[in-house]
């Protein structure tokens, strides 16, 4: 099975009408959407999501932010999906991110960063489990799978 990652299109992106544009970046790259839902994250779920940061000065703020408005939560799949999606997102803060990345093109500050992506296979497994039951993740093959992921070797 190919690698999976959790992506959250965050409240600032939803409020700024950017969900479709951000989602299209991942789709255009060829990353497979295997689960998706539009939802309101509770403060309790946001605390679980950011549990590794509990006790840090920014913990309360990120919990408040993630639960402030609806989000689009996705599971993407492809070989190397974590590294690819993190490159597509760009540096953490929009005011530092490179043009051509999601945060570089749509972000302008340190406070809101539009999108979350798992940073390792371990965090992806944990995070996916917070938002999706296994039966909500769809296994399928793209019709153009060979052209996206193939090799000419």
Single out the catalytic residue among 17, 49, 53, 116: 116
Instruction: Tell me how many degrees the CA angle 71-73-24 measures, rounded to the nearest 5.
Output: 95
The DSSP result for 29-53, as a single string, is: HTPEEEEEEEEPPPHHHHHHHTGGG
**Cα–Cα distance for residue pair 36/38, rounded to 1 Å:** 7
Is 116 tagged catalytic?
yes
Give Rg (Cα) of the chain: 15
Which residue numbers are catalytic? 116
């Amino acid at each position: 099975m190919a690698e999976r990652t959790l992506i959250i299109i965050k409240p600032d992106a939803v409020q700024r009408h950017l969900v479709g544009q951000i989602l299209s970046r991942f789709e255009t790259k060829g990353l497979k959407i295997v689960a998706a839902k539009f939802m309101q994250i509770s403060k309790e779920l946001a605390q679980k999501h950011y549990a590794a940061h509990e006790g840090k000065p920014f913990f309360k703020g990120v919990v408040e932010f993630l639960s402030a408005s609806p989000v689009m939560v996705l599971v993407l799949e492809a070989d190397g999906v974590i590294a690819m999606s993190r490159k597509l997102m760009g540096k953490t803060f929009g005011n530092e991110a490179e043009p051509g990345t999601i945060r570089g093109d749509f972000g302008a500050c340190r406070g809101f960063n539009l999108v979350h992506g798992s940073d390792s296979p371990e965090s992806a497994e944990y995070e996916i489990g917070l938002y999706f039951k296994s039966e909500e993740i769809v296994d399928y093959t793209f019709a153009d799978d060979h052209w996206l992921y193939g090799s000419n070797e």
